[in-house]
Structures are given as C-alpha cells and as structure tokens.
C-alpha cells in the first residue's frame, strides 16, 4: 500500500507541511525511520529523534514547535496517538479473502455460511453451525455443534469454539483461543478423590469483542459465561465458568478470573491480576498489575493496588513505609539495646 502525504492528511484530518506528494508504504519507529516510511512524535522525550529521523513523513501535534529544521514532511493532527491508531488500521488490517471455502475444510451438510465468508484449510464446522456474512474462519479452526457466529467476524488459526457457544458481530479471536472448554469443577469425595462436575452451559460473546491469543473462556456449569459488547481481552487470560465481563472493560495479559465473578462496565484491569470467585466488581474499577482481589468492590471508579488489593493511594503510602522497615527495625533494635544497657547499669 502506498499513500501520499496529501492522502494521509485527508484520512487523518491533518494538515501537511512540506511535500504533499511524497509517498510512504509502511510505518516505522521514529528512531529507525527509513525512506518511504511514516513515523510519529507523541512523547516530548523523543523530540531529539524528530531532527534525526530518516522517515519521509512525521506525524506531530498541531501545537508542536520544532527547535531545529526537520527534513521529514510533517502532518499536523489534533491527537497523534488517535491518528496512529487509524493509520495502523490501514497498514495492519489482515487480508480477508472473500467467499473462499478451502477444499480441505470439513463442513457438515447442515452448516450455514453467509455471503463472502471464507473457511480456511483443515478447519472443521460441525452440525448446526451458522456463520454470518463477511466473516473469516482461518486455517485449522474447530467450530463445534450448534455454534452461532455473527457477521464480519475474524477467527484466526487454531481457534477452538466448542458446542453451542455464541460469537457476536465484528469480533476478533486471535490464534489458539479456546471458547467453551469445561470449567475447573470437581466435587471432593469421602475417599479423598474428586468427582468431575459436568459443565452443560455455554459462552456468549457479544459484538465488537477482541480476544488475544491463547486466552481461554470456560463454559458455564449451567447457564452462560458472558462477555459483553466492546470488551477487549489480552493474550493468556483465563476466564472461568459463569463469569460475566461488563461492556467496554479491558483486561491485560495473564489475568485470571475465578468462577461466577461479575466484573462491571468500563473497568481497566492490569496484567497478572487475580480474582477470587463469586465477587462483584463495580463499574469503572481500575486495578493495577499483579493485584489480587479477594473481596467485592462496591463503589464505582475505585482504584486498587496490591494483594489483597486496597485503595491505590493507600497502597502507595503504605509501600513508602514498607521500604523503610529494615532501617526502622535496625533503629528499634539499637534503641532497645541502649535501653537494656541503661537498665542493667542501674541494677
């Protein structure tokens, strides 16, 4: 793909300073650049690179005032990071073959495939599957009995969607995601063994959800595990049975959510956060990475940190004291020693 500065400015709502006809064919980091590339300056700490970069075009904020000459053509925009998001959509969008059904695919006679939907090599679509229009089922995908998949869905290679699960419109499932595996449910027996508990529910994923590679979302024991519309889930996340994730919540990598926990809307959850089971997390909750939630959060827009998690500001104040504990212990030990010596001297 080649675009001129003029064309890019029209796409991004920006204005050109320099050669409007210069063309680029790829994005680049500002410190690497390269002829025919476009980069950006969003953080003032990288300003020095703006005067050195060999990129052909540089995205900058409208308020940016260079202190030296810049060789690159500038495109000034209101929000550099928003413009980069739009730009990367143009360059990073996966190619979508329209209506190609690979001869190596195994498709049951009862399957319904919408217009312009593609199915890749060695993918399996079981009995009763229905897929909407303009979707892509990549290579080596397994879609179990009765699964319903909406329109404009992109299922990357190796994904497994098990029996009776539902995937809404405009969703993206990255490589090796597993939707609808059994939850971790076992009943302890008198002899010390464990009896497996059957999981007969499903997973419902609403519209506009994106799920990162190797994430697993377990089916409900009974009823459904539900991922509401607009949720974004990173790689390597574990969502247990009967969990509900509220609309527009984002979850970073290696987070684990135990069974039947309900997370509200518009929450922001850092990496490696752990949730105990049967919790309720209020809308707008923000949780720092590596925190552990052992109790419910009742107040919306709460900021939490630590294990067990406490208020973010409270944690920062507590940590400031915690760092001083070795020195405080040493001073306390010396004080006790002097007191004991004084007492012994008075005997």
Catalytic residues: 241
Sign of CA dihedral 183, 188, 194, 198: negative
Q: Are the C-beta atoms of residues 61 and 76 closer than 8 Å to each other?
A: yes
User: What is the distance between the alpha carbons of residues 230 and 265, in angstroms, rounded to a whole number?
Assistant: 10
The DSSP H or E segment spanning 164 is none
Distances (CA, A) of 196 to 171, 187, 218, 279: 32, 6, 15, 23
User: What is the distance between the alpha carbons of residues 39 and 88, in angstroms, rounded to a whole number?
Assistant: 11
Angle (CA) 310 313 318, round 5°: 70
Q: Note the residue count of the chain.
A: 347
Question: For tokens 């909407």, what's the residue?
Answer: 132
Report CA 175 to chain centroid distance, whole Å.
Answer: 14
User: What is the distance between the alpha carbons of residues 81 and 74, in angstroms, rounded to a whole number?
Assistant: 15
**DSSP assignment string, 233-298:** E-TT-EE-TT-EE-TT-EE-TT-EE-TT-EE-TT-EE-TT-EE-TT-EE-TT-EE-TT-EE-S-B-
Question: From its phi and psi, is residue 13 left (phi > 0), alpha (psi between -120 and 50) or beta?
Answer: left
User: What is the distance between the alpha carbons of residues 218 and 240, in angstroms, rounded to a whole number?
Assistant: 5
User: What is the distance between the alpha carbons of residues 93 and 77, in angstroms, rounded to a whole number?
Assistant: 22
């Amino acid at each position: 793909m080649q675009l001129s500065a003029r064309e890019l400015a029209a796409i991004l709502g920006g204005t050109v300073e320099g050669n409007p006809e210069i063309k680029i064919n790829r994005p680049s980091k500002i410190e690497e650049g390269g002829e025919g590339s476009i980069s950006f300056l969003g953080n003032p700490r990288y300003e020095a690179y703006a005067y050195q970069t060999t990129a052909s075009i540089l995205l900058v904020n409208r308020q940016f005032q260079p202190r030296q000459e810049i060789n690159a053509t500038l495109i000034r925009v209101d929000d550099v990071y928003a413009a980069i998001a739009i730009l990367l959509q143009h360059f990073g969008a996966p190619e979508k073959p329209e209506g190609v059904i690979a001869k190596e695919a195994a498709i049951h006679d009862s399957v319904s495939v919408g217009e312009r939907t593609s199915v890749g090599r060695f993918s399996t679509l079981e009995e009763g599957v229905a897929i909407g229009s303009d979707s892509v089922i990549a290579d080596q995908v397994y879609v179990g009995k009765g699964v319903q998949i909406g329109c404009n869905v992109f299922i990357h290679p190796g994904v497994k969607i098990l029996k009776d699960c539902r995937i809404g419109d405009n969703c993206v499932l990255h490589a090796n995601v597993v939707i609808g595996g059994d939850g971790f449910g076992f009943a302890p027996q008198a002899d010390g063994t464990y009896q497996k508990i059957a999981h007969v529910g499903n997973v419902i994923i609403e519209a506009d959800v994106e799920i990162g590679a190797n994430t697993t979302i377990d089916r409900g024991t009974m009823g459904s595990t539900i991922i509401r519309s607009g949720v974004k889930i990173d790689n390597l996340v574990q969502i247990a049975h009967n969990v509900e994730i509220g609309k527009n919540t984002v979850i970073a990598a290696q987070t684990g959510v135990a069974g039947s926990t309900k997370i509200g809307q518009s929450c922001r959850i850092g990496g490696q956060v752990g949730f105990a089971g049967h919790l309720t997390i209020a809308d707008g909750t923000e949780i720092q990475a590596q925190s552990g939630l052992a109790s419910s959060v009742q107040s919306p827009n709460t900021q939490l940190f630590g294990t067990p998690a406490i208020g973010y500001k409270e944690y920062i104040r507590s940590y400031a004291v915690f760092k001083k504990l070795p020195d405080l212990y040493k001073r306390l030990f010396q004080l006790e020693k002097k007191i004991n010596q004084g007492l012994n001297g008075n005997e």
